[in-house]
């Protein structure tokens, strides 16, 4: 579930992690989620959990960097899983 997307540093955008396949494998649901942004990115507000989807609004970034945004979930049964997306920061 690792992906790379382009992002302009002036953009304020939502990014979504779809945990559906993994949650189906472990027969579980999301209890809570946290999102951490790196390298000049900012996770704005709290992540939104809607079923198996976690969405986080992200701003900023430093031109020329490949920055990570990492979503960590805890399931109802106590499992902890983590997936990252990567944002290539460039003027668009």
Model pLDDT for residues 54-74, shown as the tens digit of each residue: 999 999 999 999 999 999 999
- Phi, then psi, of 45 in degrees rounded to 5: 75, -165
Q: Where are the beta strands (DSSP E) in 19-79?
A: 30-37, 41-50, 53-60, 66-75
Per-residue pLDDT of the chain (92 residues; tens, 9 = 90+): 458 999 999 999 999 999 999 999 999 999 999 999 998 999 999 999 999 999 999 999 999 999 999 999 999 999 999 999 999 999 98
pLDDT given for residue 2 in this prediction: 59
pLDDT of residue 63: 96
Please tell me the predicted confidence (pLDDT) of residue 1.
Answer: 46
Where are the chain's structural domains? 3-89
- Distance in angstroms (rounded) separating the CA atoms of residues 60 and 43: 9
Look at domain 3-89 and name its CATH class. Answer: mainly beta
The reported pLDDT for the residue numbered 3 is 86
């Amino acid at each position: 579930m690792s992906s790379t997307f382009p992002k302009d540093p002036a953009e304020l955008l939502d990014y979504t992690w779809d945990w559906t396949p993994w949650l189906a494998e472990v027969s579980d649901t999301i209890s809570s989620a946290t999102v951490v942004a790196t390298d000049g990115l900012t996770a704005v507000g709290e992540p939104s959990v809607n079923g198996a989807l976690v969405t986080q609004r992200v701003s900023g970034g430093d031109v020329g960097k490949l920055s990570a945004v990492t979503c960590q979930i805890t399931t109802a049964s106590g499992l902890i899983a983590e997936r990252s997306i990567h944002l290539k920061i460039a003027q668009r």
